[in-house]
Structure 1
Amino acid sequence: MLNKLTWPIPAVPILVAMVGIGLTACKILPTPSAENGGNAPAFNADKMVGDIWAAKVVPYLQQKAGPFPEVHALAKADPAAAGAKYGNPKKQANSPWTFAVRLEGKVVAANTQSRAATMDVDADGDGKADARVQIGPAMRGTALRDSLDFIQFNDFTNQIDFAQFGKAFNTYADKTVLSKLPRETLEGRSVRVVGAYAVGSGQDLPLVTPAEAEIGPKP
Structure 2
Amino acid sequence: MKVIVRRAVALLLAATLTAACSKVPGVYVYEKDGQATAAKSGANDPKTYVADNWSTKIVPTVHDKAVDVATVAAAVAKDPEAAGKQYGHQAGTGSPYAYMVKGSGTVTGIDTSVPTGPMTVQVGSTKVTIATGPVIAGTAIRDGVGFVSFGDFTNQIDYAEAANQINAKVKSDVIAKVDLKSIKGKKVDFYGAFSALSPGTIFLVPTELTVTP
Where on the TM-score scale, by shorter chain, does this alignment land: which range? Answer: 0.7 to 0.9
Q: Per-residue deviation at 1:114?
A: 4.7
Partner of 1:213: 209
Q: Per-residue deviation at 1:207?
A: 0.4
Map 1:100-119 → 2, pairs under 5 A? 100-119=100-119
Question: Which of 109-118 and 92-101 deviates more?
Answer: 109-118
3-state SS of paired residue (1:117): coil
**Which amino acid is the alignment partner of residue 150 of structure 2?**
F
3-state SS of paired residue (2:136): coil
**Which amino acid is the alignment partner of residue 196 of structure 2?**
V
**Which amino acid is the alignment partner of residue 216 of structure 1?**
T
- Tell me which protein shows more helix as a share of its residues: 2
Partner of 1:164: 161
Map 1:29-68 → 2, pairs under 5 A? 44-68=45-69
Residue 44 and residue 156 in structure 1: after superposition, are their counterparts in 2 closer, same or farther (change >3 A)?
closer
Map 1:134-173 → 2, pairs under 5 A? 134-173=131-170
Residues 1:187 and 2:153 aligned together:
no
**Which of the pair has more CA radius of gyration?**
1
Q: Per-residue deviation at 1:161?
A: 0.7
Partner of 1:95: 95
**Which amino acid is the alignment partner of residue 210 of structure 2?**
E
Partner of 1:177: 174
Q: Per-residue deviation at 1:142?
A: 1.1
CA distance, structure 2, for counterparts of residue 114 and residue 78 of structure 1? 31
Query: TM-score, normalised on structure 1?
Result: 0.72
CA distance, structure 2, for counterparts of residue 147 and residue 190 of structure 1? 25
CA distance, structure 2, for counterparts of residue 152 and residue 173 of structure 1? 20
Partner of 2:31: none
**Which amino acid is the alignment partner of residue 209 of structure 1?**
V
Query: TM-score, normalised on structure 2?
Result: 0.74
CA distance, structure 1, for counterparts of residue 59 and residue 134 of structure 2? 19
CA distance, structure 2, for counterparts of residue 148 and residue 206 of structure 1? 17
Residue 104 and residue 47 in structure 1: after superposition, are their counterparts in 2 closer, same or farther (change >3 A)?
same
Question: Per chain length, whose mean CA-contact separation is higher, i.e. which structure has more relative contact order (CA < 8 Å, sep 6+)?
Answer: 2
Identity between Structure 1 and Structure 2 (%): 30
The gaps in structure 2 that reach 5 residues or longer are 20-40
CA distance, structure 2, for counterparts of residue 179 and residue 201 of structure 1? 27
Q: Per-residue deviation at 1:115?
A: 4.2
Contact map agreement 1:100 1:195 (CA 8 A) in 2: yes
Partner of 2:32: none
3-state SS of paired residue (2:167): helix
Cα deviations across residues 119-168 of structure 1 (Å, max 9, x unaligned)?
A: 101011x5xx6110011231121111010211112332211111111111
Report the aligned-residue RMSD: 2.9
CA distance, structure 1, for counterparts of residue 112 and residue 62 of structure 2? 26
CA distance, structure 2, for counterparts of residue 50 and residue 85 of structure 1? 30
CA distance, structure 1, for counterparts of residue 91 and residue 42 of structure 2? 27
CA distance, structure 2, for counterparts of residue 77 and residue 44 of structure 1? 40
